[in-house]
A and B are shown apart, each in its own frame.
Chain A
Amino acid sequence: MQPVLSVKNLYYSYHNLKGETPAIADISFDVAEGEFLAIVGPSGCGKSTLLSIIAGLLKPEGGSLSFGWPTTIGYMLQHDHLFEWRTIYQNVILGLELNKSMTKENIDYVLQLLKDYGLYSFKDQKPSQLSGGMRQRAALIRTLAIKPSLLLLDEPFSALDFQTRLTVSADIGNIIRQTEKTAILITHDLSEAVTLADRVLVLSKRPSTVKAELNIHYDIDRASPLSIRNTAEYQEYFNKLWKELSDDVPK
Chain B
Amino acid sequence: MSPNENQNNISITNQQAFIRAHKKHHHMITFSRISILVIFLAVWEYAARSGIIDIFFFSSPTAIIQYLYKMIVDSTFFKHTGITLLETIISFLLVTFLSLLFSTLLWYWKNLSEILEPYLVVLNSLPKSALAPLLIVWLGTGSTTIITAGISVALFGSIISLYTGFCQTDKELLKLILTLGGNRKDTLFKVILPSSVPLIISNMKVNIGLCLVGVIIGEFLAARRGLGYLIIYGSQVFQLNMVITSIIILCMIAMGFYKIIQSMEHLYKKRG
A, B assembled together = yes
Given contacts A94-B190, A98-B181, 4 further A-B pairs with CB under 8 A are: A75-B180, A77-B176, A79-B172, A83-B173
Contact across chains for A57 and B194 when beta carbons are under 8 A apart: no
User: Is B186 engaged at the interface, CB distance under 8 Å to the other chain?
Assistant: yes
Q: In the complex, which residue of chain A has the Cβ closest to the Cβ of B268?
A: A85
From 85 to 143 in chain A, residues with beta carbon under 8 angstroms from any chain B beta carbon are: 85, 94-95, 97-99, 126, 142
Nearest neighbor of A95 in chain B, beta-carbon distance: B180
- Could you jot down 16 A-B contacts, CB within 8 Å? A57-B175, A57-B178, A57-B179, A73-B179, A75-B176, A75-B180, A83-B190, A83-B191, A85-B195, A94-B190, A95-B180, A95-B181, A99-B181, A142-B180, A146-B180, A146-B181
CB 8 Å contact bits of B167-190 with A (1 = contact, 0 = none) = 000101101111111100010001
Query: Which residue of chain B has its CB nearest to the CB of A76?
Result: B179
Contact between A81 and B181, CB atoms less than 8 A apart: no
Which residue from chain B places its CB closest to the CB of A52 in the assembled complex? B175
Given contacts A77-B172, A126-B272, contact A83 B180 (CB under 8 A): no
Asked if residues B197 and A98 are in contact (CB atoms below 8 Å), the reply is no
Of the residues A77, A83, A99, A126, contact of B194 by C-beta under 8 Å: A83
Count of chain A residues near B, Cβ 8 A: 20
B-facing residues in A189-222 (Cβ within 8 Å): none
Complex CA gap A99/B180 in Å reads 8
Q: Count the A-B residue pairs with Cβ separation under 8 angstroms: how many?
A: 47
Q: Could you say which residues of chain B place their CB within 8 Å of the CB of A77? A: 172, 175-176, 179
- Docked CA distance A73–B175 (Å): 13
| B180 in contact with A85 (CB, 8 Å) | no
Q: How far is the CB of B187 from chain A (nearest CB, A)?
A: 10
User: What 7 pairs across the A-B complex have the smallest Cβ distances?
Assistant: A75-B179, A98-B182, A95-B180, A99-B181, A85-B194, A81-B176, A98-B180
B175 / chain A contacts, CB cutoff of 8 Å: 57, 77
Complex-state Cα separation, A73 to B194, whole angstroms: 26
Q: Which residue of A lies closest to B198 (CB)?
A: A85
Check if A25 is an interface residue, CB within 8 A of chain B: no
* A74 / chain B contacts, CB cutoff of 8 Å: 179
Dominant SS among interface residues on chain B: helix
Cα of A99 to Cα of B190 in the assembled complex, Å: 13
Query: B residues within 8 A CB of A146?
Result: 180-181
Interface size class of B (residues with CB under 8 A): 10 to 19
Q: Which residues of chain A are within 8 angstroms of B272 by Cβ–Cβ distance?
A: 84-85, 126
* Mask: chain B, 63-76; 1 = CB below 8 Å from A; 0 = not: 00000000000000
Q: When chains A and B are docked, how far (Å) is the Cα of A79 from the Cα of B178? A: 15
A83–B195 touching, CB < 8 Å: yes
Residues of A within 8 A of B195 (CB): 83, 85
- Kindly provide the distance from the CB of A39 to the nearest chain B CB, expressed in whole angstroms: 17
Once the chains bind, are A85 and B197 in contact (CB under 8 Å)?
A: yes
Q: Interface code A224-238, partner B: CB below 8 Å = 1, 0 otherwise?
A: 000000000000000
Measured CA separation A84–B195 after assembly (Å): 8
| Chain A residues in 8 Å Cβ range of B179 | 55, 57, 73-75, 77
A146 to B178, CA, bound (A): 13
Least distance between A70 CB and chain B CB atoms (Å):
13
Known contacts A98-B180, A98-B182, A126-B272; is-contact A81 B173 (Cβ 8 Å): yes
Residues of chain B lying within 8 A (CB to CB) of residue A99: 180-181
Q: Tell me the bound Cα distance from A142 to B176 in angstroms.
A: 10
B67 to chain A, nearest CB (A): 49
Residues of B within 8 A of A57 (CB): 175, 178-179
With A94-B190, A98-B190, A126-B272 given, is the CB distance from A81 to B172 under 8 Å? Answer: yes
Interface residues of B in 182-236 (CB under 8 A from A): 182, 186, 190-191, 194-195, 197
State in angstroms the CA–CA spacing of A74 and B181 once bound together: 9
Instruction: Please measure, in the bound complex, the distance between the C-alpha atom of A77 and the C-alpha atom of B182, giving whole angstroms.
Output: 16
Q: Which residues of B contact A142 (CB under 8 A)?
A: 180
A74 to B172, CA, bound (A): 15
Interchain nearest-CB distance for B164 vs A (Å): 20
A55 to B175, CA, bound (A): 11
B172 contact set on A, CB distance < 8 A: 77-79, 81
- Alpha-carbon separation in the docked complex, A81 to B174 (Å): 10
Min distance, Cβ A84 to any Cβ of chain B, angstroms: 7
Expressed in whole angstroms, the Cα–Cα distance for A142 and B182 within the complex equals 14
Tell me which residues across on chain B come within 8 A of A83, comparing CB atoms.
173, 190-191, 194-195
With the chains together, A224 CA to B228 CA distance in Å?
A: 76
